[in-house]
Chains A and B, each alone.
Chain A
Amino acid sequence: MNKLASSRPKTIDLINASLPKRHLSEKLFRSIGLISIMMGLMFLFMLFYGIVSKGYTAFQQTFIQLEMNFDEQLLDPEGTRHRDALSTVDYSGLVKASLGKMFPDVTDRNEKRLLYSLVSTGATYQLRKMVMDKPALIGQAQQVWVPADDEVDMLIKGHVMRDVPETERRLRDVQISWLDQLEAKEKLVLKFNTAFFTNGDSREPELAGIWGALMGSIYTLIVTLILSFPMGVATAIYLEEFAPKNKWTDLIEVNINNLAAVPSIIFGLLGLAVFINFMSFPRSAPLVGGLVLAFMTLPTIIIASRGALKSVPPSIREAALGVGASAMQTVYFHVLPLAIPGILTGTIIGMARALGETAPLLMIGMVAFIVNIPSNIFDPATVLPVQIFLWADSPERAFVERTSAAIMVLLGFLFIMNALAIILRKKFERRW
C-alpha cells in the first residue's frame, strides 16, 4: 500500500509542482497585455505629438502693419461714394503705395515686385471690405494689420531656414533684410489666426480656413441624423419587439449585420448611381453626402439600438402587459425610455464615424475646391476630412501645418462626440 502510494504522486504535489509554471504563464500573459497597451498608448502619443507639434503653429499667423492712407484721389476721384465704383477700385495700389513709403529706397522694378510679394494678396480684399463697410474711411490715414504672405509666415515660424543658400529658398536675401527691418520696428508680429476659423478654403495658405468645410460637415451630418436616426430606431424596434421570428426576419438580420461591414466606398458608388445619375440630385451637395452617410450609419444604429432594447429586462414588458398596456404602449412608454441611453450612444458613435468618412464622398463630388461657405444642404460643399486630404496634397509648404491644425479640429469634434456618448450613458443608464 505504502509503496504504491508513494510511487503515485499526490494531487497536491502535482498542483504544487505545476504552480511555478502556471504562475509564470499568468505573469507572461499579464505582461504581454500590459506591453500591448503601452505600445498602443505610445503610438497614440506619437501620433498626437506629431500632429500637435506640426500643427500648433497654424493657429498663429504673421501680420504686417501698414500705414494706410485711404487716398480719395485713388479710391473715389469723383466723390460719389457709390458702392459699385468702390468695389472695382484697385486696392492693391493702396498696399503698394504704403509699402513704397515704408521702403523709399526700393526703386528697381524687380525689387519692387519682391517687396510687394511680402504681403498676402488677401490684404487687397481686406482693404476693399474695410472701405465698403465704412466709406467714411476715405481720406483718412490708419494703421492696418494685414496678413503676410505664406513664404514670410514660414520663415518667421522657422519652417524655412535662413541659413540655406539663397538659391534654395523662395525668399531672397533682400526680402529677409526688409523683414528684419519690419520686425525691428515691431511692424511684423505673430497674432492669433482668426482667418483659419472663419474663412473657406483658399489656395493662399494664409487665407485658407476650415469654416466652409466645418459647415459642410454640419449640414451633411444633419441630413444623416434626421434620416438614419428615426429610420434606424424604428427598424430596431420593429425587429426586436414586433417582428415574428421566421426565415425572412433572419435573412434581414443577417443582411443588416453584413451591411455594417460593407466598405464605405461601396455606399459612395450607390449614391452616385442612385442619387446623382438616376434621381439627378446636384453633385457635391451635403444632401447627397448626408444620404450616403445615412446608409452607412444605419446598420450601426440598428445594431446598437437592438442591443439596447434587448438589455431591457423582460419583467418590465411583462409588468406593463400585465396591467393592461397594449404592445405598442409597452414599447413606447416603458421599453423605449429605458433603452434610449444605449440608442443615443450608438447613434453618436455612428455619427462620429460618419464625420470622419471621406471615401464615399469621393464618388459624389464632395472632394472639390470650394471657396464659398455653403448656406444650405444644396450648395456645393466639402467636409472636414476631405479638406484635410486636399490640403495634405497641396504643394505650398504652409499647408503642412494647416493640415495638422485641421486634423486637430476634427479630432476635437470626435472627442466631444464620444465624450457626449459617455456622459449620456453614465447619466441615464439604469442597471438592474
Chain B
Amino acid sequence: MSGKSFILAVVLMVSAGSGLTQAARDYISIVGSSTVYPFATVVAETFGKTSGFKTPKIESTGTGGGFKLFCGGIGVEHPDITNASRAIKKSEVDLCAANGIAEAIEVKIGYDGIAIASSKKTEPLQLSRKDLFLALAKNVPDPKGSEKLVPNPYKTWKDVNSKLPNVAIEVLGPPPTSGTRDAFVELAMEGGCKKFDWIAAIEKKDEKQYKAICQTIREDGAYVEAGENDNLILQKLQANPKALGIFGFNFLDQNIDKVQGSVIDGVAPTFDTIADHSYPISRPLFFYVKKAHVGMIPGIKEYLNEFTSEKAWGDNGYLSDRGLIPLPTAERAKVAQTVKQLIAN
C-alpha cells in the first residue's frame, strides 16, 4: 500500500543519489593515525576557512587502519591522504601496489614525544628505559643474574631500582591497537631491553624471539589498558597519584598544571628536549598523499601547501601551539621543497 510505494520511492531516491555522489567528490578525504588527528584537523580547518575549498573530512582510524583504507585503490571512494605515526611498512607498500597505487608521497611533519606522566601531587620519577622495561615486560632477565628469563617478579618501583620510591607499579596506557603503544614499546621498552647484552645478542640470531622478549607487556595488572582516550588516563592520574600514565606530549603540554612528565634517562619531556632528540621516547609523524589523486580531487595541492607552510608547521606555527614538535629548519625546507616538486610534476 502506501507504505510500499514509500519504500520504493526511497530506494529509487537512494540509488539515484548514490550514483550522483560517487561521480565526484569536492572535499579531501583523510584517514589515519589518532596521534596526527589533532594536528591534521587544525590544518584542515584553517585550510577550509581561508582557501575557499571545502574543509577536508578527517577520520581517526589509527595508523594501520588508515593504510588499509588508503591502499584500497584509486578513485573517489578511496581516501586521498592517510596520517601515520610511523613510516609505511613493506607489507603496506605491497598492498598499495597491488591495488594500483604506484606512488604515495611521504611527508614528514614533525615529532611527537611520549610522556610517562604522573600527577603533580607527587615528585616526578627519575626513570631509565631499563627501569621501564624491567617494570613492564612480561618476562624479565633473572634478578639473580643468570642469563635466562623469568616471569616479571617486580611489584614496586623500588624492586626494579633501589633508587626509586617504594610505590607499587601501576601504569595506565593505551591498548595494542594504538600507535602510541607501538611507539612506547619500540622506543622505551626495547630501548631498555637492549641494555642487556645477552638479549641484544639474540637480535642477530632470532629477531622474532628478540621482539617477543622486548616488546611483550606484562598482563598481571601492573599495566592497565585504559583505552585510547587520553583524557581518561589524565583523570585517573589525578584520582590516583601513585599511578603513571602514558600519552602523547600534546596532552602533557595542554595540562601542565595537573600532570608532569617523568624524567627518562635524565631528560624531562619538554618542547626543546624532544626537538633536539635528547628525550629518548620520541617519534616522527607523517602523512602520505596519493599522487594519482592530486588534480583529481580539488584542493589537495593547496592543503599540502598549507600544511608545509611556516605559519603551520614552523617553529612558531600554530601546530607547535598544539604540541607538535617541528622538524629542524633545514629538514623542513627540504621536505617542503620535495613536496612542491612532486605535486608540480
CB-based contact A168/B257 at 8 Å: yes
Selected A-B contacts with CB under 8 Å, 11 pairs? A121-B318, A226-B6, A230-B6, A279-B18, A282-B18, A287-B17, A369-B44, A370-B57, A372-B54, A372-B55, A395-B230
Contact of B3 among A230, A276, A370, A390 (CB under 8 A): A230
A378 touches B6 (CB 8 A): no
- Is A395 touching B257 in the complex (CB atoms < 8 A)? no
| Docked-complex contact B20 and A283, CB < 8 angstroms | no
Please report whether the interface of chain A is mostly helix, strand, loop or mixed according to DSSP. Answer: loop
* Chain B residue at smallest Cβ distance from A113: B316
The closest CB in chain B to the CB of A391 belongs to: B231
Bound complex: CA A380 to CA B38 (Å): 19
Is B239 in contact with chain A by the CB < 8 A criterion? no
Which residues of chain B in 22-46 are interfacial with respect to chain A, using CB atoms and an 8 Å cutoff?
A: 22, 25, 27, 29, 34, 37-38, 41-42, 44-46
Residue in A226, A227, A282, A397 whose Cβ sees the most chain B Cβ within 10 Å:
A282
Q: A226-B10, A395-B251 are in contact. Are A380 and B257 (CB under 8 A)?
A: no
Known A282-B22, A283-B77; contact A369-B57, beta-carbon cutoff 8 A: yes
Give A146-165 as 1s and 0s: 1 = Cβ < 8 Å from B's Cβ atoms.
00000000000000110010
With A368-B58, A372-B54 as contacts: A285 and B21 at CB distance below 8 Å:
yes
> Using a Cβ–Cβ cut-off of 8 Å, how many residues does chain A contribute to the interface with B?
48
Q: From B55, which residue of chain A is reached at the shortest CB distance?
A: A371
Asked whether, in the complex, the Cβ of A392 is within 8 Å of the Cβ of B257, the reply is no
The answer to whether A280 and B48 have CB atoms under 8 Å apart is no
Chain B 180-239 interface residues, beta-carbon cutoff 8 Å to A: 228-231
Nearest B residue to A332 by beta-carbon distance? Answer: B1
By the criterion CB–CB under 8 Å, are A397 and B254 in contact? Answer: yes
Q: Assess whether B330 is interfacial by the CB under 8 Å rule.
A: no
| CB of A400 closer than 8 Å to a CB of B | yes
Asked whether, in the complex, the Cβ of A397 is within 8 Å of the Cβ of B18, the reply is no
Decide if B280 is an interface residue (CB 8 Å cutoff). no
Closest Cβ of chain B: how far from A230's Cβ, in Å?
A: 4
- In the bound complex, residues from chain B placing their C-beta under 8 Å from that of A164 are 257
Q: Which residues from chain A contact B251 at a C-beta distance below 8 Å? A: 395
A396 to B18 alpha-carbon distance, docked (Å): 37
A199 → chain B closest CB, angstroms: 11
A354 within 8 A of B: no
Closest approach, in angstroms, between the C-beta of B57 and any C-beta of chain A? 5
User: Is B344 an interface position by the 8 A CB rule?
Assistant: no
A170 to B271, CA, bound (A): 14
A203 touching B22, Cβ below 8 Å? no
Contact of B323 (CB < 8 Å), options: A202, A204, A227, A395: A395
Q: Which of A49-79 contact B (CB under 8 A)?
A: none
What are the residues of chain B within 8 A of A284 when measuring CB–CB?
Answer: 57, 59
Enumerate chain B interface residues (CB-CB to A < 8 A).
1, 3-4, 6-7, 10, 14, 17-18, 20-22, 25, 27, 29, 34, 37-38, 41-42, 44-46, 48-49, 52, 54-55, 57-60, 77, 120, 228-231, 248, 250-251, 253-257, 316, 318, 322-323
CA distance A231 to B11 in the complex (A): 13
Q: Contact between A160 and B257 (Cβ–Cβ < 8 Å)? A: yes
Q: A395 is contacted by which of B7, B49, B250 (Cβ under 8 Å)? A: B250
How many Å lie between the Cα of A299 and that of B234 in the bound state? 40
**What's the Cα separation between A161 and B255 when bound, in Å?**
12
Residues of A within 8 A of B22 (CB): 280-282
Q: Could you tell me the distance between the alpha carbons of A161 and B258 in the complex, rounded to whole angstroms?
A: 11
Q: Which 6 A-B pairs have the closest CB atoms?
A: A230-B3, A371-B55, A369-B58, A368-B59, A378-B21, A395-B254
Residues of A within 8 A of B255 (CB): 395, 397
Chain A residue nearest in CB terms to B228: A393
* A22 beta carbon closer than 8 Å to chain B: no
Chain B residues touching A, majority SS: helix
Q: Is the C-beta of A377 less than 8 angstroms from some C-beta in chain B?
A: yes
- B57 in contact with A203 (CB, 8 Å): no
Query: B37 to chain A: which residues have CB within 8 Å?
Result: 369
Of A231, A368, A371, which contacts B48 at CB under 8 A?
Answer: A371
Q: Kindly list chain A residues whose C-beta atoms are within 8 Å of the C-beta of B41.
A: 203, 369
Chain B residues with Cβ below 8 Å from A268 are: none
Chain A contacts for B253, CB-based, 8 A: 395
Using Cβ atoms and an 8 Å threshold, which residues of chain A touch B10? 226-227
B49–A125 touching, CB < 8 Å:
yes
**CA of A380 to CA of B25 in the docked complex: distance in angstroms?**
10
* B55 cross-chain contacts in A, Cβ below 8 A: 370-372
Q: Is the CB of B257 within 8 A of A169?
A: yes
Of chain B, the residue at the smallest CB distance from A117 is B321
Bound: A424/B254 CA distance, A: 48
Query: How far apart sit A370 and B14, CA to CA, in the bound complex (Å)?
Result: 22
* Cβ proximity bits A168-210 to B, threshold 8 Å, 1 near / 0 not: 1110000000000000000000000000000000111000000
CB contacts (< 8 Å) of A368 on chain B: these are: 57-60
Residue of A nearest to B47 (CB): A371
Q: Is A31 an interface residue (CB 8 A)?
A: no
Is A234 among interface residues, defined by CB-CB distance under 8 A?
yes
In the bound complex, CA of A281 to CA of B21 (Å): 8
B20 interface neighbour in A167, A204, A378, A396, Cβ under 8 Å: A378
- When the two chains form their complex, are residues A287 and B18 in contact, meaning their CB atoms are under 8 A apart? yes
Q: Which residues on B sit within 8 Å (CB–CB) of A168?
A: 120, 256-257
- A226: nearest chain-B partner, CB-CB: B10
Cα separation A394 to B20 with both chains bound (whole Å) = 35
> How near does chain B come to A90, taking the closest CB pair, in angstroms?
10
Whether A227 contacts B231 by the Cβ 8 Å rule is no
Question: A233 at interface (Cβ–Cβ under 8 A)?
Answer: yes
- A161 adjacent to B59 (CB under 8 Å): no
Distance in angstroms from B243 CB to nearest chain A CB is: 19
Check A377–B256 contact: CB distance below 8 A.
no
The CA of A372 and the CA of B18, in the complex, are separated in Å by 20
Q: Tell me the minimal C-beta distance from A156 to chain B in angstroms.
A: 16
Bound complex: CA A372 to CA B26 (Å): 12
> For window 353-406 of chain A, which residues contact chain B by CB distance below 8 Å?
365, 367-372, 377-378, 380, 390, 392-397, 400
In Å, the complex CA distance between A365 and B7 comes to: 25
Chain B nearest CB from A308 CB (Å) reads 16
A369: min CB distance to chain B, Å: 4
Closest B residue to A368 using CB positions: B59
**CB distance B3 to A234 under 8 Å?**
yes
**A367 near B231: Cβ-Cβ < 8 Å:** no
Query: Which residues of B are found within 8 Å of A285, using beta-carbon distances?
Result: 21
